[in-house]
Amino acid sequence: MRKKIVAGNWKMNKTFGEAEKLIADIAASLEGMELKDTEVILCPPFVYLEMATDIAEESKFRVGAQNMNDHDLGAFTGEISAIMLNSLDVKYVIIGHSERRQHYNENHEFLAGKVNAAIRHQIQPIFCCGEILAEREAGTHFTIVKKQLDDSVFQLLPEHFKQVILAYEPVWAIGTGVNATPEQAQEMHLYIRETIAEKYDRQIADDTTILYGGSCNSKNARELFIQPDVDGGLIGGSSLKADEFIAVVTSL
Ligand code: 13P
């Protein structure tokens, strides 16, 4: 059975004090909840990871990073490695977010290197894929997503691919208030699952968690999460307020 996940990607938001309060509020709400097979993951900025993992030890959420480098150590000023994340007990990392592809020119090859480094150090990649508006309008969205998977995650051996969590995030839906319709999300998630089955096998495809991301909030989460191939969400804006984020978690 595949895991259901709601992950909050805070992006570049919150001061230390605000971050501490948000994590404490979320932890307090989760305390009284029966999460069953749902995992809640918070991905704050790097500088708050240690504080977050300290609180997580006594709480029902896990901690992920928003990025990492593909090298293990060395002269890479400003970068953070999988070894460092591992040493803080950070077990997840977002890789391939469209904002990093777009603003920092992260290409397929670099992303493949990051995925490999994460796997080497037992950190589960949350690998993002998704098309831009022009690609959807041109009808090339399936081809684009397939290429992103082909070039950055399908190089993994089956036993390693099993560690990967995927997130379909149509770029036109990120931060725009326009989410993919449940039908659009389901159609792409099913396509991704069938692509995994073709590349690996049916069992691996059925066991892969595929999250939806892009203007997912407390109002639309339920209808998205109810789709058979949508296994939860990667949440941006709506992960920045405790009540709103918890409402998304309870929609799963
Ligand atoms: P929004 O939920 O703000 O659209 O962001 C989605 C996202 O990019 C999560 O990684």
**Mutational pocket test of ligand 1: of 215, 240, 248, 249, the residue with most ligand atoms within 8 Å of the beta carbon:** 215
Would residue 97 show up in a list of annotated catalytic residues for this protein?
yes
pTM greater than the 0.85 cutoff: yes
- Evaluate: CB of 213 within 6 angstroms of ligand 1: yes
**Whether residue 1 has pLDDT greater than 90:** no
Ligand 1 atom closest to the Cα of residue 179 is 4
What pLDDT does residue 106 have?
97
- Evaluate: CB of 237 within 6 angstroms of ligand 1: yes
**Whether residue 66 has pLDDT greater than 90:** yes
The pLDDT tens digits for 172-191 are 999 999 999 999 999 999 99
Closest CA to 115 of 6, 197, 138, 106: 106
pLDDT band at 37 (very low <50, low <70, confident <90, very high): confident
What pLDDT does residue 184 have?
98
**Whether residue 167 has pLDDT greater than 90:** yes
The pLDDT tens digits for 80-104 are 999 999 999 999 999 999 999 999 9
Q: What are phi and psi of 11, to 5 degrees?
A: 55, -145
Compute the CA torsion angle 145, 151, 152, 154 (nearest 10 deg).
90
The CATH T-level fold of domain 4-249 is TIM Barrel (3.20.20)
What pLDDT does residue 210 have?
98
Would residue 198 show up in a list of annotated catalytic residues for this protein?
no
